[in-house]
Structure 1
Amino acid sequence: MSQPAPAPSVQRVDARHRYEIHVDGVRAGLTAYRDRGEQRVFFHTEIDDAFAGQGLASVLVEQALSDVRASGKRIVPVCPYVAKFLTKHTEFADITDPVTPEVLEWLEAARSH
C-alpha cells in the first residue's frame, strides 16, 4: 500500500529574504522578497523541475502572502507569478500595493548590495 505524499511545509527564511517550500525535507522551491518599510516586495518565485506540476508554487505563495498579512505588512507583486496569483486571489487585494517605477528602482538598488 502506497503512503500518501508528505504535506509540503513553508517557512520564512529572513536571513535569505525568502520563503521556502519543502517536501519530505527537500527544498522544492522559493519565493524571494525584500522589505521596503511596511512593504514586502516579491520579485522572484521558482519551483525545482523535480517538483513541477504539483501546485507547489500556489501553496508557497498563498502561505507567504498569509504570513505578510499576519505580520502587518503590505504586498508588492513585482514577480509575475505573484502578480498572476493575486488576480485570482482577491482576498489579498486590501494589502496589495501597485508596482511603481520607484519600487522597481529601489528593488534594483537593494538587490545589488
Structure 2
Amino acid sequence: MSESSTAPAVQRVDERQRYEILVDGRRAGLTAYRDRGEQRVFFHTEIDDAFAGRGLASELVGQALADVRASRKRIVPVCPYVAKYLKKHEEFADLADPVTPDVLQWLEGQPG
C-alpha cells in the first residue's frame, strides 16, 4: 500500500458517539465514547489492519483528547489504549478521572 497523499483527519461524529480518523477520505479507525454528565468515557479504540503501523491510533486519541479539553469535559479511560496514551502524555493528566466500578456499571447499561 502506498503512503497517503494527504494528512490524516480526525472528526467527532456525535450521532455515533465516536471520533474517526480518515486517510484519503477512508475511515481508518475510531475511538468510541459515551458521555456521562461532564465525563467522556472512552471504551474502545481500533485501527483497520490496512492502516496499521502508521501511528494513527496515537494521532486519533491525541486529537480526541484535545477535543475533550476544548469541550470542557473530563476523560475516563476504560479503553486500554486510551489509558496507555494518558500515561505517556501527561499534558492530559489534569482531565483524567479514574475508572470506577460505578462507571463500569453505568457503561454496561448504555446502548451500543
Using structure 1 for the length normalisation, give the TM-score: 0.94
Partner of 1:13: 13
State the partner residue of 1:90.
90
Equivalent runs, 1:31-50 vs 2, <5 Å: 31-50=31-50
Secondary structure (helix, strand or coil) at the match of 2:110 reads helix
- Distance in 2 between residues matched to 1:58 and 1:111, nearest whole Å: 26
| Correspondence for 1:57 | 57
* Equivalent pairs, count: 111
> How far does residue 110 in structure 1 lie from its aligned partner after superposition?
1.0
Q: What is the alpha-carbon root mean square deviation over aligned residues?
A: 1.5
Residue 5 of structure 1: CA displacement?
3.2
Instruction: Tell me the TM-score normalised to structure 2 length.
Output: 0.95
SS of the residue 2:72 aligns to = coil
Maintained 8 Å contact 2:4/2:24:
no
What SS class does the counterpart of residue 99 from structure 1 fall into? coil
The alpha-carbon distance between structure 1 residues 3 and 89, as it changes in their structure 2 partners (threshold 3 A), is closer
- Match of 1:107, as an amino acid? L
